[in-house]
Structure 1
Amino acid sequence: MVLVFRWLFRISVFCVSLVVLGLLITYYLASRSLPDYDKTLPVSGITADIEIVRDNAAVPHIMALSDRDAFFGLGYAHAQDRLWQMTVLRRTVQGRLSEIFGTRTVEIDTMLRRLDLYPLAVQSLQHQDAATLDALEAYSAGVNARINEINSSSLGRGAPELFLFEAPIAPWQPADSIAMIKLMALQLSGHMREEILRARTSLLLDDAARLSDILPDSPGRGVAALPKYADLVPGALPRFATNQVLPDFLSTIPEPGLAGASNAWAAAPERSAGRGTLLANDPHLELTAPSIWYLARLQLADGGVIGGTIPGIPAILVGRSEKIAWGITSSYMDDQDLHIEELNPDNPEEYRTPDGFKPFVTRKTIINIKDAAPVTLTLRWTDNGPVLPRSSFDIESILPQNHVASLSWTALSDKDTSMSGAIGLMSATSVENALDVSRSYIAPSQNLVLIDEERVAMKLVGAMPRRDPGHQSRGRLPSPGWIAANRWQGMLPYSSNPEFLAPQGGIVGNTNNKSIDAPFPNHVSYDWGDTQRVQRWQGLMQGRKVHTRDSFIEAQLDTVSITARTLLPLIGRDLWFTGEAAAEGTPERQRQRALDLLANWNGEMNEHLPEPLIYAAWLRALQERLIRDDLGQLADRFRHVEPLFIERVFRNVDGAAKWCDVIRSIKVESCSDISRLALDDALIWIEEHHGSALESLRWGDAHSATHRHATLGEVPLLHFFMNIKQSTSGGDHTLLRGRTSGVDPEPFANVHGGAYRGVYDFADPDSSVFIISTGQSGHFLSRHYEDLGQLWRRGEYIPMSLDVGLARAASVGITRLVKP
């Protein structure tokens, strides 16, 4: 027995030793790729020495004597910190993910190959201006300098992920960066999915009038510039008011509701306490680890520029220079049209056009797949654009027999000069100059919010399709591609894009809301990203005569839901004070307790409160009850509550209360009946997932932000190290937007929000601040992998100064790239 015990002990010690040894070897190999920020490195391809000063948040301040060397330094810094992220993004847009991930990414590769984005980026290279070509070449050389350093110095392949996935890294090319912008356009464009959803819904609904309930148009004339404060509040005193609100009133193509969003607003000197212009911006994208954003400062010939970049793109996309500051929001311009193409019944290689049948333009391409046979695709193009797979995005559900679908989209341009616009903006010296430079933008379309020392402006940038006034669906539904009126007729001139320059009220802004109310075909869009946040924004902006950097921060972090304040009195109006006293432990008693909490709630979606969770669960259950019997399985596509739909139903706008009656029951249900049943559904769900003690609930437990690693976020054990999870405030309809997933088992998880926040104050430019949602490094062993994440969660910022002396004073290292 003693002998057996001894051998068991020896075997256990041996196994534990092997595990420890394996962990030590793994740690050693992974740590080899940790970037060293404090070194001198000889590199070729630079004209003079470059100094990269990393401040205490690891933000690189790139000091160079020429623009070319500055872009070289940015490429090197991006590759130092985010090489794996850049590799995956490049493979995504090239349609080459399956070479390293196998069969699970074939569908993504197939879609990207059919869209042909990378070949279009290669063709667009020759259309960039000279300064942009120079920047692209220098940036590529900087990335490749880091790759060469990794290979020559055995620096752990450059990233820990490269030990797990056999992914040889080809040298970076200038076209790769242009392709990154096209990939960004894809992730910000949701109109194709909206067209399909609208088509499927219209096919199911017996009453066509009900389509405008569940997929409502944004009301109102549009909001972009606010009126003069004095016109709104005659005789107002020059003091700060308390916050006021208005009265009631890995897929690459985003799901409806998860396309790009954002907030941006600006104040002219007359609306600023410091008499300098102000700008706040927080672009909303999917939350990932590391963040898609990367903070950087460049010293260019025209001066310093600092802000947010996306690794792979050599430009400050949001930020400020010494002369101007700029922010972006998704414009929601309708830049995509889906066309139904009829095949020739006698020859399926031809499709119908206004002039008869015509052969597809075709090309073969091969997708290589890890551990599987390669797949050969035949890419097909029509006059309207590339033919999409029938099996993707529910397209097959709306296609007649003997038809295919093609896509018209502004990003499918082989003369895309968006990169020239992004590079040129960094050197702009005034609002007017920036507006002129931005005519180069093609896609993605954005609202560009600008300030210089004296003026504010907002301009929709990006190519706007020219549609025929006789378009059959006005771009709202997939339309027959062989009818000439449904085809695009080129692009509208840049001058026709909506512009708001130096408005009289001194404030411009956008929360993805409807910005103009122009007739078709100059309408910009029928589908906008917000009808709710803008109401709160208007109240906060007009609640003060003048603003400060801190009041802009306060608005950026505001968690009050105007939606909750509007909808709760509607859906609960017959429930608040009705019903008899109920015994403890009964469903009726639990319902009363929930209603009591909500009756005393001010609509603040604070992570520490129970009311936001009760409210969110109630609204979700309510919409489910309203639409499930009408839409069946299609109800699964409506993952987020549509406030305008709920309001239309409970106000019975144009007979919308019809949704409350359950089709399959004999009884005629009222909206109060459905509201009560939905509240009971919500309380049952809450008890199953969070317990029955309502007063102890925390919204932040359900609304946790999970910054998921794109490739290792679902891997057992590894996800504990790679993902970053945080309790967060806000919600779908608050200015501090934390878009929920809408998918079980965590329907309220925060998956899409302002991963970058910046506030710029030209009264004191060095008091400007910014933050990202994780950290600068993409290496999970780095202390800079998530160090900014807790600041972001708490609504804190770091300084955004162009003073290199401040960066040096608390630097974590200085990298010197020198000529050999």
Structure 2
Amino acid sequence: MKKFKKVLLIFISFIAVISLLLYGYLLTTKPKYEGEISIKNISKETTVYFDDYGVPHIYADNQKDAMTALGYVHAQDRLWQMELIRRIAPGKLSEIFGTRALKNDKFFIGLGIEENSEKAIAQLDKNGKPYQMAMAYLDGVNQYLENGKTPIEFTILGIKKEKFTLKDVYNTFGYMSFSFAMAQKTDPLITDIKNQYGEEYLKDLGIDYSLNPTRLKISKEQAQQYIEISKSITTLLENSPVPPFIGSNSWVLSPKKTKTGKVLFCNDPHIEYSQPGTWYEAHISCPEYEMYGYYLAGTPFPLLGHNRDYAYGLTMFENDDADLFQEENNPKNENQYKTVTGFENYKIRTKTIKVKDSTSVILKVKETQHGPIINDLIADFKTQKPVSFSWIYTQQPNKILDAVYSLSRAKNIAEFQKGVSYIVAPGLNIMYGDAKNNVAWFTSGKLYKLEKGVNPNLILNGTNGIDDKKQFLDYSKNPSAINPSWNYVYSSNNMPETIDGYNYPGYYLPEDRARRITNLLDNKSDWSKDDVSKMLTDNRSPVSVEVVQELLLVIKANDLSKQEKQAYEVLGKWNGSNNLNDVAPTIYTKLIYFYLKNTYQDEMGEISFKQFLKTHIMKQSIAFQTKNINSPWWDNIDTKNKKETRNEILNLSFKQAVLSLKNQLGTDANSWTWNKVHKVEYKHPLGSVALFKPFFNVGKFEISGTNEVINNTMFDYSDEIEHVVKAGPSTRRIVDFSDIENSWSILPTGQSGNPMSAHYNDQAEMYLQGKFRKMKINKEEIIKTSTKLVFKAK
């Protein structure tokens, strides 16, 4: 026994020593927020103050020095995230993750983003400011890479440090642009439905835009054949270590709508949650330039920002900038494809994918006049006819660096709009407000019309010379509004009004958020900063209440169990709120899942139905299809000699929902509160390993909100006990031009991507509670509340 105790003591001591050594090592990886650092290529001493939330405030003699310092401090907080995001587009994740990343790499190599980046850089003006400032930023990143501390993730995965280049910047913008595109997620599903069941089944899905009644007002006063494409691409994006953009809200109030008589600017881009989060905040101040901006990892210019003169932000336009084409091989030569003028040779790109702990993979990408053939790039899609992917981003001149630079350096509203016009893809709603009382909404994207009768929601014919005809529109035709008579601009990924009688094709989200936003804004003309902060966390859905009332009319109230009666009564009193202690959203969400399953799965099949649940068309169909007594979807095609009705499907769904909740949450329906089922965990790519999860992941937390309310905390409908929130506001920002130094912001977790930093998760609780913090730009205040890091010129 004594011997056992002695061995146990030695073992415990060994573990303790190892733990202390490990903790000591981790401490050495912390970012440096104070002291002095000597770096090259700055002309004068540059000072960085890190405020109480880790935001760097960079004071420099000139922009070049500021950009070099920005690159350095960005890298010390987010180098791991920079490394990940630069690897996606060129297909280099397999080098660090092995074969599990191979599917991702094959697909993104096939898109040709890297080749497009090379072409754009070759055409870039090397004497221009965008290039020079970007190179100064990259110099700062690379100086940290060479002399700074190594992130723990690099050590765990054995990543070799390699210098960052301008191509990495372009590849990052390219990946983010692709994550905006929706055609590849939706068109294959719609095509399968049409091919199997005909046009009648498409009416309830609203692809003719009849289900988009609340539109953005324009003011110009200024057989499961294809489902694997949709399923596989959606899975790739969901499993990507860098989160895709999904939606967003923004509104900008003109002086006539505010209590102070100055512009109020609000924005909350919706992005898939991750750890670290998407945005890195930084404030630059030098004699000729000042900007408080939000940066993607490894990029030199902010996508969101403000200064004392103007503010800007973005949401997704949701326009269609990508198409899928069914091609036809030459039956006598598989290296050729059919065109209207005869058979043409495929262009072949050969790429080598290096795979960690395995042999390299040689990938040959076939390309047609429309774009790459994606059959061989997607698992389980090798036996069908060739399908090509046509994407505006890789087909039009790429001026994304000039564009983002221009947005953050504009001198007036006209210069700002010119910067927007440089963006051919992705399509964005770019929101603007300034100190001169202007408010504006601009859309980016190279828009085009197709031939009459061509439906861009379907996989198109690549051989007839008709489906691929595009009439590109002048930028003046892009939807916009400048200082409209209704005194505000907004966007929530909803559809714009027509221009010249033409509906811009797209994958617009339903009217739910748009209705709520416009109803609130229209009915009040003395908005304050406090008022709009509450609006940014608004959890009410008037559309869901209308859906519930429609469903309750159908449910047989006299034929209900105890729990069913409780659930019926709760839904009947619901005002549409989705707060933590509410019961109705728990019941409603489960009911909607079973309604969707019982209505659509028999026709679609299980695989397609799961994909349908991830689309915008599912969201927009609910409010309208539930009212349509004659919808063909009600009939269950699996039952013989019987035709189901709306009443039968909805009553069945209600009973199944209540039974499921009873089994999962207990017999008292009044205890089925939203906080028990609606939760979020901010996941780090290494957090999937159980050993690393407590160290890298943040949460799990109860979270309010739901799908398609202003506080849009998104999840997939399912019968699981928990609705795992996948995405939501990536930041909430309020810029108040009556009190610019007290504008507000919040991040979901924290500013730093380093787990040892105090700023890794210090905003998480505030974010969940709907609180805000200052975006400081007053130097005197900053100095009082900050640590000081001085960059000395070598």
Match of 1:174 among 166, 170, 177: 166
Could you say which residue in structure 2 is the equivalent of 1:11? 7
Deviation at 1:25, TM superposition (A): 2.5
Output the amino acid matched with 2:204: D
Query: What 5-or-longer segments of structure 1 have no aligned partner?
Result: 228-249, 583-587
Structure 1 pair 261–51 and aligned structure 2 pair: CA distance change class (3 A): same
The CA deviation string for residues 571-611 of structure 1, in whole angstroms up to 9 with x for no partner, is 111337x316x7xxxxx111001111122221100122222
Paired with 2:531 and 2:504, the residues of 1 have a C-alpha distance of 31
Question: Are 2:179 and 2:244, in contact at CA under 8 Å, matched by a contact in 1?
Answer: no
Deviation at 1:301, TM superposition (A): 4.6
Could you say which residue in structure 2 is the equivalent of 1:814? 788
Structure 1 pair 666–484 and aligned structure 2 pair: CA distance change class (3 A): closer
State the TM-score, normalizing by the size of structure 2: 0.93
Is residue 2:562 matched to residue 1:579? no
The CA deviation string for residues 108-144 of structure 1, in whole angstroms up to 9 with x for no partner, is 0001111121232122123345111011100100101
Paired with 1:350 and 1:226, the residues of 2 have a C-alpha distance of 46
Could you say which residue in structure 2 is the equivalent of 1:531? 511
Paired with 1:315 and 1:97, the residues of 2 have a C-alpha distance of 25
Deviation at 1:745, TM superposition (A): 4.0
Counterpart secondary structure, 2:132:
helix
Is residue 2:77 matched to residue 1:81? yes
Counterpart secondary structure, 2:750:
coil
Output the amino acid matched with 2:276: P
Paired with 1:492 and 1:608, the residues of 2 have a C-alpha distance of 50
Could you say which residue in structure 1 is the equivalent of 2:456? 475
Structure 1 pair 36–218 and aligned structure 2 pair: CA distance change class (3 A): farther
Output the amino acid matched with 1:171: K
Output the amino acid matched with 1:621: F
Deviation at 1:747, TM superposition (A): 6.0
Question: Are 1:191 and 1:336, in contact at CA under 8 Å, matched by a contact in 2?
Answer: yes
Output the amino acid matched with 2:22: T
Output the amino acid matched with 1:816: V
Match of 2:602 among 629, 641, 654: 629
Structure 1 pair 65–788 and aligned structure 2 pair: CA distance change class (3 A): same
Could you say which residue in structure 1 is the equivalent of 2:222? none
Deviation at 1:793, TM superposition (A): 0.9
Could you say which residue in structure 1 is the equivalent of 2:713? 738
Deviation at 1:784, TM superposition (A): 0.8
Paired with 1:455 and 1:28, the residues of 2 have a C-alpha distance of 53
Structure 1 pair 645–222 and aligned structure 2 pair: CA distance change class (3 A): closer
Output the amino acid matched with 2:543: T
1:402-481 equivalences under 5 Å are: 403-413=385-395, 415-453=397-435, 454-464=437-447, 466-470=448-452, 473-481=454-462
Output the amino acid matched with 2:11: C
Deviation at 1:413, TM superposition (A): 4.3
Question: Are 1:294 and 1:772, in contact at CA under 8 Å, matched by a contact in 2?
Answer: no
Output the amino acid matched with 1:202: K
Match of 1:316 among 302, 311, 319: 302
Paired with 1:553 and 1:676, the residues of 2 have a C-alpha distance of 40
Counterpart secondary structure, 2:714:
strand
Structure 1 pair 353–509 and aligned structure 2 pair: CA distance change class (3 A): same
Paired with 2:693 and 2:210, the residues of 1 have a C-alpha distance of 40
Question: Are 2:237 and 2:244, in contact at CA under 8 Å, matched by a contact in 1?
Answer: no
Paired with 2:349 and 2:382, the residues of 1 have a C-alpha distance of 23
Deviation at 1:368, TM superposition (A): 1.0
Could you say which residue in structure 1 is the equivalent of 2:118? 122
Question: Are 2:54 and 2:751, in contact at CA under 8 Å, matched by a contact in 1?
Answer: yes
Match of 2:581 among 608, 614, 619: 608
Match of 1:783 among 755, 758, 772: 758
Output the amino acid matched with 2:522: Q
Structure 1 pair 433–340 and aligned structure 2 pair: CA distance change class (3 A): same
State the TM-score, normalizing by the size of structure 1: 0.90
The CA deviation string for residues 712-731 of structure 1, in whole angstroms up to 9 with x for no partner, is 12111321222222211111
Could you say which residue in structure 2 is the equivalent of 1:235? none
Deviation at 1:678, TM superposition (A): 1.1
Deviation at 1:469, TM superposition (A): 2.1
Could you say which residue in structure 1 is the equivalent of 2:273? 287
Question: Are 2:593 and 2:718, in contact at CA under 8 Å, matched by a contact in 1?
Answer: no
Paired with 1:214 and 1:225, the residues of 2 have a C-alpha distance of 23
Per mean C-alpha deviation after superposition, the further-off stretch among 171-180 and 95-104 is 171-180
Paired with 2:300 and 2:349, the residues of 1 have a C-alpha distance of 32
Question: Are 2:367 and 2:373, in contact at CA under 8 Å, matched by a contact in 1?
Answer: yes
Root mean square deviation of aligned Cα:
2.3
Could you say which residue in structure 2 is the equivalent of 1:232? none
Paired with 2:236 and 2:416, the residues of 1 have a C-alpha distance of 30
Could you say which residue in structure 1 is the equivalent of 2:227? none
Structure 1 pair 310–209 and aligned structure 2 pair: CA distance change class (3 A): same
The CA deviation string for residues 179-219 of structure 1, in whole angstroms up to 9 with x for no partner, is 111111111111222111111222332x4211221455353
Could you say which residue in structure 1 is the equivalent of 2:103? 107
Per mean C-alpha deviation after superposition, the further-off stretch among 170-179 and 637-646 is 637-646
Is residue 2:19 matched to residue 1:23? yes
Could you say which residue in structure 1 is the equivalent of 2:734? 759
Structure 1 pair 800–740 and aligned structure 2 pair: CA distance change class (3 A): same
Structure 1 pair 748–387 and aligned structure 2 pair: CA distance change class (3 A): same
Deviation at 1:491, TM superposition (A): 4.0
Match of 1:136 among 134, 137, 140: 134
Question: Are 1:740 and 1:747, in contact at CA under 8 Å, matched by a contact in 2?
Answer: no
Could you say which residue in structure 2 is the equivalent of 1:147? 145
Question: Are 2:64 and 2:133, in contact at CA under 8 Å, matched by a contact in 1?
Answer: yes
Question: Are 1:51 and 1:816, in contact at CA under 8 Å, matched by a contact in 2?
Answer: yes
Deviation at 1:775, TM superposition (A): 0.5
Question: Are 2:103 and 2:377, in contact at CA under 8 Å, matched by a contact in 1?
Answer: no
Is residue 2:703 matched to residue 1:717? no
Paired with 2:185 and 2:146, the residues of 1 have a C-alpha distance of 42
Paired with 1:393 and 1:330, the residues of 2 have a C-alpha distance of 29
Structure 1 pair 23–303 and aligned structure 2 pair: CA distance change class (3 A): same
Question: Are 1:741 and 1:747, in contact at CA under 8 Å, matched by a contact in 2?
Answer: no
Counterpart secondary structure, 2:466:
helix
1:191-210 equivalences under 5 Å are: 191-205=183-197, 207-210=198-201
Output the amino acid matched with 1:61: H
Paired with 1:442 and 1:252, the residues of 2 have a C-alpha distance of 24
Query: What 5-or-longer segments of structure 2 have no aligned partner?
Result: 220-233
Match of 1:371 among 333, 345, 357: 357
The CA deviation string for residues 301-358 of structure 1, in whole angstroms up to 9 with x for no partner, is 5432113211211112112122111110100010001111111111111111221111
The CA deviation string for residues 628-678 of structure 1, in whole angstroms up to 9 with x for no partner, is 22222222222259354333333226x216515565154443323222221
Counterpart secondary structure, 1:651:
coil
Is residue 2:540 matched to residue 1:552? no
Paired with 1:418 and 1:566, the residues of 2 have a C-alpha distance of 43
Could you say which residue in structure 1 is the equivalent of 2:228? none
Is residue 2:757 matched to residue 1:803? no
Output the amino acid matched with 2:44: A
Paired with 1:511 and 1:391, the residues of 2 have a C-alpha distance of 33
Output the amino acid matched with 1:137: M
Structure 1 pair 488–418 and aligned structure 2 pair: CA distance change class (3 A): farther
The CA deviation string for residues 511-551 of structure 1, in whole angstroms up to 9 with x for no partner, is 1011123478x532242023211111111111202322222
Counterpart secondary structure, 1:94:
coil
Deviation at 1:31, TM superposition (A): 2.2
Could you say which residue in structure 1 is the equivalent of 2:59? 63
Structure 1 pair 448–644 and aligned structure 2 pair: CA distance change class (3 A): closer
Structure 1 pair 103–744 and aligned structure 2 pair: CA distance change class (3 A): farther
Question: Are 1:562 and 1:734, in contact at CA under 8 Å, matched by a contact in 2?
Answer: no
The CA deviation string for residues 222-247 of structure 1, in whole angstroms up to 9 with x for no partner, is 522499xxxxxxxxxxxxxxxxxxxx
Paired with 2:51 and 2:98, the residues of 1 have a C-alpha distance of 40
Paired with 1:539 and 1:497, the residues of 2 have a C-alpha distance of 25
Paired with 1:175 and 1:755, the residues of 2 have a C-alpha distance of 26
Deviation at 1:42, TM superposition (A): 0.7
% same residue: 24
Counterpart secondary structure, 1:782:
coil
Output the amino acid matched with 1:766: E
Counterpart secondary structure, 2:481:
strand
Counterpart secondary structure, 1:196:
helix
Question: Are 2:327 and 2:462, in contact at CA under 8 Å, matched by a contact in 1?
Answer: yes
Deviation at 1:394, TM superposition (A): 7.2
Could you say which residue in structure 2 is the equivalent of 1:212? 203
Match of 2:493 among 497, 503, 512: 512
Could you say which residue in structure 2 is the equivalent of 1:638? 612
